[in-house]
Chain A
Amino acid sequence: MKWLTALLILLFAGAGVGWLLTSPERVSPDQLAGITPDLKLGEQVFYAGGCASCHAAPGAEGDDKLILAGGHSFPSQFGTFIAPNISSDKNAGIGGWSDEDLANAMLHGTSPEGQHYYPAFPYTSYAQMNVEDIVSLNAFLKTLPAVATPAPAHEVGFPFNIRRALGGWKLLFARSGWVVTGDLTPEQERGRYLVEGPGHCGECHTPRNGLGGLDLGKWLTGGPNPSGKGKIPALTPDQLDWSQGDIAEYLKSGFTPEYDSAGGEMVDVIANTSKLSDADRAAIAAYLKLPQLAAGDASD
């Protein structure tokens, strides 16, 4: 129950002095000025970000993964979150959203009404993304089918249903800058962008602390499987001894070097990474081979 006490303290902070600090952040309109959307890029960002894994109907396969009606549920210690409808419907979905709205949601976890989103929406990772990518993604999302039925509401009780309280959580866990720093080649930098940003690999492959935030000191070192038995494997080079080519192949076909095939939630991730370019898969693999990642000394 340590996390509960800590959260209640945060709530108080939210109610008092912290009120200003916990008020939702937004992008400034000049950040978005003059960006022309590119649909092809938007499609790649959609797959790099894995939006369909959560926002398509549970169990959807093939083209049904482009129907972003929501409905996936995410049980957590705070209650059950349900992924909303983000289809192009103007009422039930986000068809009416401006680029600024989507940028606020993905970079700051802030809704068009100025409320905080729950971190079940992995915006702490998406916060590392370029605004260019988000503008193109918004244009691409508008080309996908509209679904007029809203997704069910979250099943989250007091005090976690007070979105304002999340400001404190955000202050604690919002990441500023990259987890892995140091001299990187352009390929490794691209990999870092994909893994730490849109790919949100750390959301599953990094253990969490008592408050539900990622333990960045143990970046990508694996952890318990929140949805069942077994462990989410570590991806650091001291633990995962696959070659760069092996990792890239796994992200393309799902085959391990022993020709076992991936299982569990990773299958959905691979459905997305298989749609990326060979160069992007190689970049992800290059990042995962970085020696800084070993033994969790990524964040010094």
Chain B
Amino acid sequence: MFSVRKTALAAALIGATAGAAFADGHANPAVKARQQVMSLYAFHLGTLGAMAQGKMDYDAEMATKAASNLAALTSLDQSMMWPAGTDSGSMEGTRAKAEIWSNFPDVGAKGKALADASMAMKEAAGGGLESLQAAMGPLGGACGACHKAYREPES
């Protein structure tokens, strides 16, 4: 009897501390900020991708606008958006793998690769549909390379 009650108490206590320690990433401003930057990447990439795939008519001006915004976004200094302790093992609401914090130079290199591919897209986007399509592969590859290594699948 006693031991049952003790176990229940222990479980309740563990539940309470786990609840407190396991913060929600959605409420963490840094996590929110980096996820919003990612959404902005996807938004601008969407315009370029829709043109590349023929879902939207090619429009040099609009393509350049989207690519310029993307290039600006990928050149932001994101260091404040990735504070230690905001990995998926430490909190809910984030898909950022803990490996990000143990391989910072590589993450930086992957961020740089994205900035370079975005700059190339900015040059290419206004130069006709084929030129846009050719720049799309490396750009998507730069997103994917980082998501492959450092992002968990959705839960």
Contacts and interface: CB of A to CB of B under 8 A. Distances in A.
B147 A263 contact: yes
A169 B141 CA distance: 39
Contacts of A264: 147-148, 151-153
Report the interface size class on chain B: 20 to 34
B147 A259 contact: no
Given A228-B97, A253-B136, A270-B144, A263 B46 contact: no
B127 interface: no
Interface of A: 225, 228-233, 249, 253-255, 258-268, 270
Nearest to A222: B153
Contacts of A270: 144
B140 A263 contact: no
B155 A229 contact: yes
Contact of A230 (B45, B46, B153): B153
Interface string B114-155: 000000000000000000000011001101110110011111
Contact of A267 (B42, B49, B53, B144): B144
Q: Is the interface of B mostly helix, strand, loop or mixed?
A: helix
A230 B95 contact: yes
Contacts of A228: 97, 152
Nearest to B152: A230
Given A254-B143, A264-B147, 15 more contacts: A230-B95, A231-B153, A231-B155, A253-B49, A255-B45, A255-B140, A258-B46, A263-B147, A263-B151, A263-B153, A264-B152, A267-B144, A267-B148, A268-B148, A270-B144
Given A254-B140, A261-B143, A264-B147, A225 B153 contact: yes
